[in-house]
């Protein structure tokens, strides 16, 4: 059973460009979480999605960031007009259901904004 897949693993963008990060959850998992890890910090929750629904986006910056988890295909975290402060590692996690406490993490996408 393949784990959580994220791509790309490394992404370099110039200031003002758009970044698209993809996450394919584990087979059978319908819940996806995105976390951001800034240098020298722990992971911070960003958003929680189920298929076609955003359940909790309390950790998402109000502007430039959006997330989706369509009926078909991977979950996408989109950052528009990136700035240097967006440079971080972005991790996706998945779980099979609300009542299941464990979240399984992908390898992360390391975004560098130049």
Residue numbers at the binding site for other proteins (CB under 8 A): 4, 6, 31, 33, 35, 40-45, 48, 50, 55-56, 59, 91, 93, 95, 98-99, 101-108, 110
In angstroms, rounded to a whole number, what is the distance separating the alpha carbons of residues 30 and 68?
Answer: 13
Name which of 17 and 103 has its Cβ closer to other proteins. Answer: 103
Phi, psi of 71 (to 5 degrees): -60, -40
Strand 109-113, strand 104-105: pairing: unpaired
Nearest distance in Å: CB 16, other proteins:
27
Nearest distance in Å: CB 81, other proteins:
26
Nearest distance in Å: CB 15, other proteins:
24
Query: 16: which 2 tokens?
Result: 């003002």
CA-based nearest residue to 88, from 3, 13, 5: 13
Nearest distance in Å: CB 91, other proteins:
6
Name which of 14 and 41 has its Cβ closer to other proteins. Answer: 41
Q: Is 86 helix (H, G, I), strand (E, B) or coil?
A: helix
């Amino acid at each position: 059973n393949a784990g959580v897949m994220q791509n790309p693993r490394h992404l370099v963008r110039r200031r003002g460009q758009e970044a698209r990060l993809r996450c394919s959850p584990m087979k059978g998992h319908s819940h996806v979480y995105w976390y951001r890890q800034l240098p020298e910090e722990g992971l911070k929750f960003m958003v929680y999605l189920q298929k076609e629904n955003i359940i909790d986006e309390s950790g998402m910056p109000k502007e430039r960031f959006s997330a989706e988890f369509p009926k078909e295909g991977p979950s996408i975290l989109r950052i528009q007009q990136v700035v240097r402060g967006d440079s971080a590692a972005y991790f996706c996690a998945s779980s099979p259901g609300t009542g299941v406490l464990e979240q399984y993490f992908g390898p992360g996408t390391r975004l560098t904004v130049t």
